[in-house]
Structure 1
C-alpha cells in the first residue's frame, strides 16, 4: 500500500515586493503549521521521504513539520516539480516516486493540491486551505499505478482552533 500526504503551504504575505517563489509566511501561516503538525504527530505516521516545492512559503511550512517530527533532513528533498499550480507536474512527480518508499509527504501549492486530493481521493474537498493536510491511501505497491485511492483523513487549521 502507498500513502501520500499532501500539505499546502501556510498563509503567505503579499506585503513584500518579491517574486512569487520568495513570498514569506505570515505569522498566521507559522502558527497554523504548528497546529497542524501537532495534530498530525498524534497519528504516529512516519514518512519515508519528504519533498517540498522550492518556494519559500512551502519550504518554511515544511521546515516547521520536519523540526516538530524530528525528521532526518537527509530524507528531505526540494523539487521544482512541486512548484506547480495545475497538478499535472505534481501527479507526474508522484507517479515517478521510488517504489521503495511507502509513505511520502509533499509540500506545495493550490490549486494543484486540491485537484490531486479530489482526483485521487475518495472525498470531495472544495479547497485545501493554507496549512491544510490531506492523507491519501492507494491499494497498490507501484507509484506509477496509483489511481483512485481513499482519503484517510484531513487536518485543516480551522478545525483545530
Structure 2
C-alpha cells in the first residue's frame, strides 16, 4: 500500500506586482497555514517519507514547512522544475520516479494542474484546491511505477479553513 498527499502551495504574496510569478513568496497567512497544515498531518498519525516539490518559491517554502515537521532534511527534498504549473501528466512523471522504499509521499504544486490531477484519481471530486489544501489517496500497489494501474481510493482532504 502506498499513500500520496497532493498539496497546493500556501497563500502567496502579491505585494510586489512586478515580481516574477515563479519568485513570489508566501504571504503572512501562508506562513501561518503551512506549519498548521503540516501539524494536522502529524496529528492524524501520518508520517511523510518523501517530499516532492515544484521549484517555485511558494511551493518550495510550503514544502519546507512539511519537511521540517516530518524531520526530512531540505537536502533530501526532491525538487522538479517540471512541477511548476504542471499539467496532470507531469505529476505522473514525478510519481513513477519515487523509490519503492517510500510509502507515504507528498507532492507540492500549483493550480490549476493539481486540481485537474486529483480529479483524475478517484470518484471524489474537488472544485478547486484552496491554498495549502491536501488531497490524499491510498494506492493498492507496492511499487510507485505501477501507480497508473493501481486501484486508488480517496483517503481524506483538508484545507486551512475547513472546520
TM-score w.r.t. structure 2 length?
0.89
The aligned counterpart of 1:117 is 118
Deviation per CA, 1:19-65, whole angstroms, max 9, x where unpaired?
A: 11101111111111122112111122222211111000001111122
- Answering whether residue 78 of structure 2 is matched by residue 64 of structure 1, we say no
The aligned counterpart of 1:18 is 19
The aligned counterpart of 2:157 is 154
The unaligned stretches of length 5 or more in structure 1 are none
Contact 1:122 1:149 in 2 (8 A): no
Cα RMSD, aligned residues only: 1.7
Larger deviation: 3-12 or 78-87?
Answer: 78-87
The aligned counterpart of 2:39 is 38
The aligned counterpart of 1:140 is 141
The aligned counterpart of 2:82 is 81
Contact 1:88 1:112 in 2 (8 A): no
Alpha-carbon spacing, 1:35–1:48, altered in 2? closer, same or farther (3 Å): closer
Matched residues in 2 for 1:95 and 1:71: separation?
Answer: 20
Deviation at 1:3, TM superposition (A): 1.1
TM-score w.r.t. structure 1 length?
0.90
Deviation per CA, 1:84-137, whole angstroms, max 9, x where unpaired?
A: 332221122213322232211111111121112111134111111100011111
Contact 2:54 2:84 in 1 (8 A): yes
Q: Which runs of 4+ in 1 moved over 6 A?
A: none
Tell me the SS of whatever aligns to 1:144: helix
Aligned length: 160
Larger deviation: 40-49 or 128-137?
Answer: 40-49
